[in-house]
Amino acid sequence: MADEKRLQEQILRISGVNPRKCMKCGKCSATCPSYDEMEYHPHEFVAMVEAGEIEPLLRSESVFKCLSCMACVERCPRGVEPGKLVEAFRLAVVRTKDSERLKPDDLPALADDELPQQAVVTAFRKYLK
């Protein structure tokens, strides 16, 4: 449990988010384009971080389904910025040794001739450390 406390502090520090501002309206999840792909949704990230339930989020595929589209950040009536929280989890995961989501060697097989360089460099940002 002490570990979860430390992880909670780490996530709050990386993200700069204050989950206690949330009024549980669910608008962030209602507007999230990746909603169907996620096991935990933006409002659940907020609520679970507040409750100190960090491990399940760190283990969830959901952190990699976020598009960083900032729709939840723009539309949250309380300025909670849930997308930043999801990003902090993704960083916490890929910063861990051997936890990269993609290896540079995986990329050639995924890219076709038309894929813009922008997608490749973004993937490096999002999935590798």
Q: Which residues bind ligand SF4 (CB under 6 A)?
A: 22-28, 31-34, 42-43, 46, 66-72, 76-78, 80, 82-83, 86
Residues 6+ apart with CB under 8 A from 33: 67, 69, 71
Q: Which is nearer to other proteins, 42 or 83 (CB)?
A: 83
Residue 55 and residue 24 in contact, taking contact as beta carbons nearer than 8 Å:
no
Q: Work out the widest C-alpha separation in the chain, in whole angstroms.
A: 49
Closest CB to ligand SF4 among residues 7, 72: 72
What are phi and psi for residue 86, nearest 5 degrees? Answer: -60, -40
52, 5 in Cβ contact below 8 A?
A: yes
**Which CB sits closer to ligand SF4, 7 or 19?**
19
Reading the block at residue 112, the tokens are 């076709």
Minimum distance from residue 51 beta carbon to ligand SF4 (Å): 13
Nearest distance, CB of residue 32 and ligand SF4, angstroms: 3
Say which entry of other proteins, ligand SF4, none residue 62 contacts (CB below 5 to 8 A, set by partner kind): none
Give 41's DSSP letter. Answer: -
Which one of ligand SF4, other proteins, none interacts with residue 46, CB within 5 to 8 A by kind?
A: ligand SF4
Separation between Cα atoms, residue 36 and residue 38, nearest integer Å: 6
Q: Say which entry of ligand SF4, other proteins, none residue 125 contacts (CB below 5 to 8 A, set by partner kind).
A: other proteins
